[in-house]
Amino acid sequence: MGFLDDMKRKAENLAAAHEDKIDGAIDKAAEFADKRTGGKHAPKIEKAADKARDVVDKLATKGGDDDQPPRREP
């Protein structure tokens, strides 16, 4: 297993363990950006926040299984 595979597995495990905290941070960042821009870019900010939540969700569904060896793609 290479360095990048190990880092990916760690990111997946962290996302699985702390998904709710990460989602909260995404929400706070989106709210901050919306306030700083005066609401001008609210739809774009919300779209970016949604995509970030999707990434976290995908990582979290793959992670959380430290006892299993990493999956290898053919």
Percent of the chain with pLDDT over 70: 84
pLDDT category, 65, cuts 50, 70, 90?
low
Model confidence, pTM:
0.76
Q: Is the model's pLDDT at 38 over the cut of 70?
A: yes
Read off the DSSP letter of residue 70: P
Domains of the chain by residue range: 31-62
b/e for 6-32, b at 16 or more Cβ within 10 A? eebbeebbbbbeebeebbeebeeebee
Mean pLDDT of 49-58: 96
Q: Taking 90 as the threshold, does the pLDDT of residue 64 lie above it?
A: no
